[in-house]
Amino acid sequence: MTERSNPLVVVRPNWRHTGRPVVLTDTEFGTAGQGGRLHPRSAVGSVVSAFFAPGMHQHVFVLDRRGGLLLRLRGDRYSPEKMNAFVDALGVPVTDFPDVVTRPQAGHVPVVRGLQTDYPGFVTPTEFDQTHPGLLSERDFTPYGESRVLTGSFTIMAVVLVILLVLVVVALIFFGPPATSRF
């Protein structure tokens, strides 16, 4: 941000996240703070909104004219009201995915009419990646990956603990209890 540009909108993460705030000024937008990245507003080509598979939140992608990612707002980090305020102030029509429907008016959460019969209104990361390749990270394709890692770690620790316990019992059987000394 330059000295002259005052923020029009500042989107702070929800209380449980420590991410960087997103700022929007007259001339630029992006993440604020050390290591943040600002882009000129003139670089914005489109904004895409998607609701991923149930259990996940709305995501807003700000894209350049070639479809490259400039900024991503995750619904688990920012409230829908904050994301809508940012997008409305940005002044670019929002394309809801999977239907290509431009938001008719400002100030409401986009309604996505999905193609899936099980969960209408939601889209899978794989479906989204087919039309917008490269915008999602590997973590988006395995939303429960972190819990699997934790479960695997606890399982390994439990197995190691059982092995140590068996070794102690075997040692006690073969070598007997430790000798006690009498004074």
pLDDT in tens, 66-113: 889 999 888 878 888 888 888 888 888 888 776 543 333 444 444 444
- Taking alpha carbons only, the member of 93, 45, 96 closest to residue 67 is 45
The structure's pTM equals 0.63
Q: Cα–Cα distance between 67 and 135 in angstroms, integer? A: 9
Output the six-digit token pair for 101. 């429907």
C-alpha of 45 from chain center: 22
Which one-letter amino acid corresponds to residue 133? P
The pLDDT value given to residue 165:
94
Q: Cα–Cα distance between 154 and 158 in angstroms, integer? A: 6
Counting residues of the chain whose pLDDT is more than 90, the rounded percentage is 14
Q: Is the confidence at residue 119, as pLDDT, over 70?
A: no
CB-neighbour burial class of residue 31 (10 A; exposed 0-12, middle 13-18, buried 19+)? middle
